[in-house]
A and B are shown apart, each in its own frame.
Chain A
Amino acid sequence: MTNFLHRIGQIFQKKDQESVPFKILFTDFKKSLELNNQILDLIAAANDKLSGDYIFDEQYIQTTCRKLADLVRELIVTINHLTGQKYPDLYNIFHHIEENIEAVLKGDILYSIDDYTLAYTSISRRIVDAVGGKNAHVAEIGSQLGLRIPQGFAITTAAFSAFWQQNNLAEIVSATTEQWQQKIITVNDAAQKIQQAINNSALPAKLEREIIEAAEEVSKEQEETTPRFAVRSSALGEDDVRSFAGQYHTSLNIPIKKMPEAYKEVVASLYNPEAMEYRLLQDFRPNEIMMAVACQLMIQAKTSGVMYSYDPVQPETETMIINSAWGLGEPIVSGKIPTDHFVLDRQPPHDIHEVQIVHKIEKMVIKGDEGIILEPVEELHGSESSLKEPQLQELAEIGLQLEKYFKKPQDIEFAIDQQDNIVVLQSRQLGLQQEITPRACDLTELVDKYPILLRGKGHAAMGGIAAGPVWVLENDGDLSDFPMGAILVARHASPQLARVIHKAGGIITDIGSTTGHLATVLREFRIPALFNTEKATSLLKSGQEITIDTECLTIYEGIVKELNYYSFHEEAIEEMYEYRLLRRVLKRIEPLNLLDPKDENFSPQGCQSYHDLTRFIHEKAVETIINLNFYHAHNRDTQAGQLVWDYPLDLILIDVGGGIETGPEKGIKPEQIRSVPMQALLRGMSYPGIWDMSPSKVDFSSFMSSLTRTSATNNNPEEIGRNLAVVSAEYTNINFRLGYHFTVIDTYISDSMLDNHIYFRFSGGVTDTTRRSRRVRLLDEILSYYDFLCEIHGDTVVARLKRMNKRSMLQRLFLLGLLVGFTRQLDVKMINDSKITIFFEQIKNIMEENNEQ
């Protein structure tokens, strides 16, 4: 705090007593800025811990949360002091968030509502803890994007808790789990015991009634006379980074009266042996195991399929993948039937790169009044493509739309209904392959050394190299004998294989789609896998040693020693409880929901996280200073005005002493500015030619106008979202909001070298993370080159510089002016890494020219 505050005395000229009020006001303002910075730094540092490089414990999470709470509380006190207690509501909102965080720290999973059922029309991601990710996503796809979804409702985690409590299930579960973990009973026995207990338990009468009522209501709304439902899991965490893809039960074509039973069955699948083993691996705590359920009106699908908005194995190809077959989707995602395979360009018009139509023998259809059945495909349609070209195009568009909305590559399940409409059944984040390992086929000499058993067959479900003995799964074979490190060879890519994935070196299947559930799970564990080879089970024998290079679709005979180095895979940090706990508390700390000050939700009530509170208060602090000094001019010791120059940057200048020369007109022209640091900054920002660097056709004026004017037609004098500079002869404090970027500069420059300092903070941005990280790298490189001490957290750069002579300091402020001026453009233009060097060189040239002047 002292850094920021101790110079305020120096800044204000002590000419008269009246300077005190603004001095106090400004002290509060600066304090709020300092707290703002500390909070954002702490959040960013906590977020860094999720990267996997750190070892942190629960104590760290607790300390961080409490430190943040203290800072945010102090910030609320400060803004209320600054504004004369204008925002008392912030205390309550803060208190609510703090309580939630404390509850999460104690291990509670919070679900925000008490209803047992919720219609899709009233569901959003805000209540994801109550309805699970699957429900929340589908509901939003319908309500926010207007895409066709199956209508339905969610049975909430509150319902789950009620069911659990009424039957003391927690006790049974914990006792049985204990026995299993102490190896007294097997996982199969434990699962059976728990599932039996669940099936023997009665649903609370209220819950049973409400399920039926909700189902009837949806049916009535949709005018379904013989409604049938799909009852699916929507467990907490199921759609997160971790995936339980395909491990839970789904009941299809269920009449209303049987839905309570179907609900119980789905809930019981929470204790499938596969799911139990999986959770053990992932260090799940008992209170983390909760299931919401999705009840959706059945779609009688002609065709079903899965689309990946990116090729997860080779994202650099910029393609999308669609796999589909006739009938309902269940056998497709569980790898039971072969699928047609399409690869499309991500860019419209989505050129088709690859089409593989398989011969389709069976399809899943609804069976009369209840249940489903596999039936033969009519001979006529066996080899016909299950999707038509216009449908592929439409799907591709939907894929991009979903990706844009959820801001992550998507794994989408869809159906084509009887009217040929595309219905989105679910959409969740698609994990892209993290690191591209070197490919064996690049090591050309290998081909001469090792016989190739298979080449060019199948699809890589996860890229990589694995070597080891083959273990062939016979039909209905027992997976419990699967040896550690073996390469699993199976007929189908069935989700049941997920049980042994953590033991497997690699996986090869005859049939199976790279967009299926198993593929999702094994990408998470980074197990190299080759699907759809057609003949692996007949070609390979148990015990035979092989090496697979899935990206090159090659199976070598023997252990290729040259590749052993690459076969090792990293431990997954997601397996740690502490990691999940940190993620969970950060959910209440980090998300920024208040983006636009013009929005209705830009209010204390709109704040859902500490970040929101901090953002809101920062905006209000700047606004208060501007309103009091510019619009109302209460302080006789300050002079304020709007900057008038060639660029329409909405900047309000407040002079606290010798920073601006009084002029005849209301506006302040650049030549009236006497503040030495402000002059240097503006010189940088208006440097001729800097805007020509960008290939963008948008000229500076219209560009800045679109970004900095919150509303061109809005003439309300107390306009929100202004930029502010508080200046004196030797001091400048800047708060800029350009689009979604925030820049704070605080600097004091005099002849006395020891007092000189520059603080620069830059954050935010609307482009994708790769480009943002390039921008951060560019800023880091440039600023470090010019002697700043830089700290990088996520997409935020904080740079500090102290104790250089006046000339050097001013040069660097000029540099900051250049950077502030065009970094927003950089974001858009940072299309590849080489741009970093190019921009760096250009900046250096300008600096050198400027030096010579």
Chain B
Amino acid sequence: MSNEQTSILILDDEPIVSKRLKPSLEKKGYEVETFTRGADALQRVRERSFDIVVTDLKMEGVDGMQFLTEVKEKYPKTEVIVITGFATMATAKESFNKGVFDFLAKPFKLGEIAEVIAKAEAKIKNS
């Protein structure tokens, strides 16, 4: 897969997250799809796999945990990065046993998430 573009799915109900992450990641050469609704994102992962999934945990009307559980069940090789508000960080960490690759507390810097994504990408390529 080393010659292929790494694909990333982003799910966050706050549009600003996708709006800012997408162009920044595309500039780095990733293939990026973004969703603000959990149902749409679920639909999409049933259609195709992504190398990396970036998701919030606590969203209105969406259970991020359920989403990432389904992603991991269907595609064990997909690396999941959880981004969530500072208040829910503790809960987020409890879910490490779901096989989440890493966590980031919102707000985060563009550079920070780029770094985590690069690490996840490296892990995928080495496996």
With contact pairs A54-B107, A576-B16 given, residues A59 and B23 touching in the complex (Cβ less than 8 Å)? no
Query: Given A54-B109, A55-B16, 7 other A-B contacts at CB below 8 A?
Result: A54-B110, A55-B108, A56-B16, A57-B14, A57-B85, A59-B85, A578-B16
* Most chain B CB within a 10 A radius of its CB, from A49, A53, A577: A53
Q: Is the CB of B107 within 8 A of A56?
A: yes
Select A55's contact among B85, B86, B110, beta carbons within 8 Å.
Answer: B110
Chain A CB within 8 A of B61 CB: no
With contact pairs A60-B107, A576-B20 given, residues A55 and B113 touching in the complex (Cβ less than 8 Å)? yes
Which A residues from 57 to 105 make CB contacts under 8 A with B?
Answer: 57-60, 63
Q: Is the CB of B14 within 8 A of A571?
A: no
CB<8 Å pairs between A and B, sample of 17: A49-B107, A53-B111, A54-B108, A54-B110, A55-B109, A56-B16, A56-B106, A56-B107, A57-B16, A57-B17, A57-B85, A57-B107, A58-B14, A59-B14, A63-B87, A576-B16, A576-B19
Chain A interfacial residues counted at CB < 8 A: 14
Q: Is the CB of A63 within 8 A of B86?
A: yes
Q: Is the CB of A55 within 8 A of B111?
A: no
Chain A CB within 8 A of B21 CB: yes
Q: Is the CB of A55 within 8 A of B106?
A: yes
Q: Please, which residue of chain A has its CB at the minimum distance from the CB of B23?
A: A571
Q: Nearest Cβ in chain B — how far from A565, in angstroms?
A: 13
Q: Please, which residue of chain A has its CB at the minimum distance from the CB of B84?
A: A59
Which B residues from 73 to 127 make CB contacts under 8 A with A?
Answer: 85-87, 106-111, 113
Q: Is the CB of B23 within 8 A of A55?
A: no
Contacts of A578 in B (CB 8 A): 14, 16
| Inter-chain residue pair count (beta carbon < 8 A) | 48
Q: Is the CB of A55 within 8 A of B17?
A: yes
Kindly state the separation between the CA atoms of A732 and B23 in the bound complex, as whole angstroms. Answer: 51
Q: Please, which residue of chain A has its CB at the minimum distance from the CB of B86?
A: A63
* Most chain B CB within a 10 A radius of its CB, from A53, A55, A63, A577: A55
- By a beta-carbon cutoff of 8 Å, the part of chain A in contact with chain B is 49, 53-60, 63, 571, 576-578
Q: Is the CB of A55 within 8 A of B21?
A: yes
What DSSP secondary structure best describes chain B's contact surface? helix
Contacts of A60 in B (CB 8 A): 85-86, 106-107
Kindly state the separation between the CA atoms of A55 and B21 in the bound complex, as whole angstroms. Answer: 8
Q: Is the CB of B111 within 8 A of A57?
A: no
Q: Please, which residue of chain B has its CB at the minimum distance from the CB of A62?
A: B85
Range class of the B interface residue count: 10 to 19
Kindly state the separation between the CA atoms of A571 and B110 in the bound complex, as whole angstroms. Answer: 13
Q: Please, which residue of chain B has its CB at the minimum distance from the CB of A59?
A: B85
Contacts of A576 in B (CB 8 A): 16, 19-20
Q: Which 7 A-B pairs have the closest CB atoms?
A: A56-B107, A57-B14, A54-B107, A53-B109, A578-B16, A55-B20, A60-B107
Q: Please, which residue of chain A has its CB at the minimum distance from the CB of B87?
A: A63
Contacts of A56 in B (CB 8 A): 16, 106-107
Per-residue CB contact flags for chain B residues 3-28 toward chain A (1 = under 8 Å, else 0) read 00000000010101101110100000
Contacts of A49 in B (CB 8 A): 107
Kindly state the separation between the CA atoms of A63 and B113 in the bound complex, as whole angstroms. Answer: 21
Kindly state the separation between the CA atoms of A55 and B116 in the bound complex, as whole angstroms. Answer: 15
Q: Please, which residue of chain B has its CB at the minimum distance from the CB of A49?
A: B107
Contacts of B109 in A (CB 8 A): 53-55
Kindly state the separation between the CA atoms of A60 and B84 in the bound complex, as whole angstroms. Answer: 10
Kindly state the separation between the CA atoms of A576 and B23 in the bound complex, as whole angstroms. Answer: 14
Contacts of A59 in B (CB 8 A): 14, 85, 106
Q: Nearest Cβ in chain A — how far from B46, in angstroms?
A: 27
Contacts of A58 in B (CB 8 A): 14, 16
Q: Please, which residue of chain A has its CB at the minimum distance from the CB of B56?
A: A57
Contacts of A57 in B (CB 8 A): 12, 14, 16-17, 85, 106-107
Kindly state the separation between the CA atoms of A576 and B16 in the bound complex, as whole angstroms. Answer: 7
Kindly state the separation between the CA atoms of A58 and B36 in the bound complex, as whole angstroms. Answer: 14
Q: Please, which residue of chain A has its CB at the minimum distance from the CB of B111?
A: A53
Contacts of B16 in A (CB 8 A): 55-58, 576-578
Contacts of B20 in A (CB 8 A): 55, 571, 576
Contacts of B17 in A (CB 8 A): 55, 57
Q: Nearest Cβ in chain B — how far from A62, in angstroms?
A: 10
Q: Nearest Cβ in chain B — how far from A568, in angstroms?
A: 9
Q: Nearest Cβ in chain B — how far from A468, in angstroms?
A: 19
Contacts of B111 in A (CB 8 A): 53
Q: Please, which residue of chain A has its CB at the minimum distance from the CB of B109?
A: A53
Q: Please, which residue of chain B has its CB at the minimum distance from the CB of A54?
A: B107
Q: Nearest Cβ in chain A — how far from B70, in angstroms?
A: 24
Kindly state the separation between the CA atoms of A571 and B85 in the bound complex, as whole angstroms. Answer: 24
Q: Nearest Cβ in chain A — how far from B8, in angstroms?
A: 15
* Most chain A CB within a 10 A radius of its CB, from B12, B20, B107: B107
Kindly state the separation between the CA atoms of A60 and B85 in the bound complex, as whole angstroms. Answer: 7
Contacts of B113 in A (CB 8 A): 55
Kindly state the separation between the CA atoms of A578 and B86 in the bound complex, as whole angstroms. Answer: 17
Kindly state the separation between the CA atoms of A53 and B110 in the bound complex, as whole angstroms. Answer: 6
Per-residue CB contact flags for chain B residues 42-80 toward chain A (1 = under 8 Å, else 0) read 000000000000000000000000000000000000000
Contacts of B87 in A (CB 8 A): 63
Q: Is the CB of B110 within 8 A of A63?
A: no
Kindly state the separation between the CA atoms of A49 and B23 in the bound complex, as whole angstroms. Answer: 19
Q: Nearest Cβ in chain B — how far from A583, in angstroms?
A: 14
Q: Is the CB of B107 within 8 A of A63?
A: no
Q: Please, which residue of chain A has its CB at the minimum distance from the CB of B108?
A: A55
Q: Nearest Cβ in chain B — how far from A473, in angstroms?
A: 29
Kindly state the separation between the CA atoms of A329 and B111 in the bound complex, as whole angstroms. Answer: 46
Kindly state the separation between the CA atoms of A59 and B108 in the bound complex, as whole angstroms. Answer: 13
Kindly state the separation between the CA atoms of A577 and B106 in the bound complex, as whole angstroms. Answer: 17
Kindly state the separation between the CA atoms of A57 and B107 in the bound complex, as whole angstroms. Answer: 7
Q: Nearest Cβ in chain B — how far from A835, in angstroms?
A: 29
Q: Please, which residue of chain A has its CB at the minimum distance from the CB of B12?
A: A57
Q: Please, which residue of chain A has its CB at the minimum distance from the CB of B105?
A: A60
Kindly state the separation between the CA atoms of A577 and B107 in the bound complex, as whole angstroms. Answer: 16
Kindly state the separation between the CA atoms of A54 and B106 in the bound complex, as whole angstroms. Answer: 9
Q: Please, which residue of chain B has its CB at the minimum distance from the CB of A46?
A: B107
Q: Nearest Cβ in chain A — how far from B89, in angstroms?
A: 12
Kindly state the separation between the CA atoms of A484 and B14 in the bound complex, as whole angstroms. Answer: 29
Q: Nearest Cβ in chain A — how far from B11, in angstroms?
A: 13
Q: Nearest Cβ in chain B — how far from A54, in angstroms?
A: 5
Kindly state the separation between the CA atoms of A577 and B19 in the bound complex, as whole angstroms. Answer: 11
Contacts of B110 in A (CB 8 A): 53-55
Q: Please, which residue of chain B has its CB at the minimum distance from the CB of A48?
A: B107
* Most chain A CB within a 10 A radius of its CB, from B16, B17, B23, B108: B16
Contacts of A54 in B (CB 8 A): 107-110
Q: Please, which residue of chain B has its CB at the minimum distance from the CB of A58?
A: B14
Contacts of B106 in A (CB 8 A): 55-57, 59-60
Q: Please, which residue of chain B has its CB at the minimum distance from the CB of A577?
A: B16
Q: Nearest Cβ in chain B — how far from A43, in angstroms?
A: 15
Kindly state the separation between the CA atoms of A63 and B89 in the bound complex, as whole angstroms. Answer: 14
Q: Please, which residue of chain A has its CB at the minimum distance from the CB of B59?
A: A59
Q: Nearest Cβ in chain B — how far from A573, in angstroms?
A: 8
Q: Please, which residue of chain B has its CB at the minimum distance from the CB of A575?
A: B19
